[in-house]
Amino acid sequence: MQISYVNYKKLDQGTRLDAEYYKPKFLEVEKLLRKANCKLLDDISKSIKSFGAYSLCNEMVFVDKGIPFIRCKDIKEGFVDFSDVLFINEATHRLLSKSAVSPNTVMLTMSGTVGNSTIANPTWKYPINSNQDIAKIETNEVINPHYLTIFLNGKYGKSQTERLPIGSIQQHIFIWQLKGLLILVASKSFQEIIANLYIKATKLLSDSEVLYRVAEEAILSELGLLNWKPKHRLSFVKKFSDTQASQRIDAEYFQPMYEEVIKAVKSAKNCICLGDIVSIKKCIEPGSKAYQENGIPFLRVSNLSKFGINNNNQQYISESLYESLKTHQPKKGEILMSKDATPGIAYYFKDSPCKMIPSGGILRLNVKNSENIYPEYLTLVLNSVIVQKQIERDAGGSMALS
Please state the rounded mean pLDDT for residues 304-326: 89
Mean pLDDT (whole number) for 379-397: 85
- pLDDT reported for residue 94: 92
* pLDDT, average across residues 155-175: 87
The 10s digit of each residue's pLDDT in 112-160 is 889 999 999 998 999 999 999 999 999 999 999 999 999 999 999 999 9
Cβ pair 106, 181 in contact under 8 A: no
Mean pLDDT of 46-52: 88
* pLDDT bracket for residue 362 (50, 70, 90): very high
DSSP class of 90: H
- Element (DSSP H or E) covering residue 175: helix 175-178
Query: pTM of the predicted model, to two decimals?
Result: 0.78
SS3 73: helix
**Smallest Cα–Cα separation from 134: which of 169, 85, 90?**
85
Written as one letter, the residue type at 253 is: Y
Sign of CA dihedral 64, 65, 67, 70: positive
**Which residue would you say has higher pLDDT here, 100 or 24?**
100
Query: What is the pLDDT of the chain when averaged over all its residues?
Result: 89
Q: Which domains does the chain have, with CATH numbers?
A: 36-193 (3.90.220.20), 240-401 (3.90.220.20)
Q: How confident is the model at residue 398 (pLDDT cuts 50, 70, 90)?
A: low
Pairing of strands 335-338, 315-317: unpaired
Distances (CA, A) of 245 to 248, 260, 291, 397: 8, 18, 44, 13
Whether 167 and 139 have beta carbons less than 8 Å apart is answered as: no
Average pLDDT, integer, range 338-342: 88
What is the C-alpha to C-alpha distance for residues 321 and 120, in angstroms, rounded to an integer? 41
Bridging pattern class, strands 357-358 and 296-299: parallel
C-beta separation of 388 from 379 below 8 A: no
The pLDDT score that the predictor gives to residue 307 is 84
Residue 2 has a pLDDT of 67
Q: Which of 54-63, 83-92, 195-204, 281-290 has the lowest mean pLDDT?
A: 54-63
CA 312 from centre of chain: 7
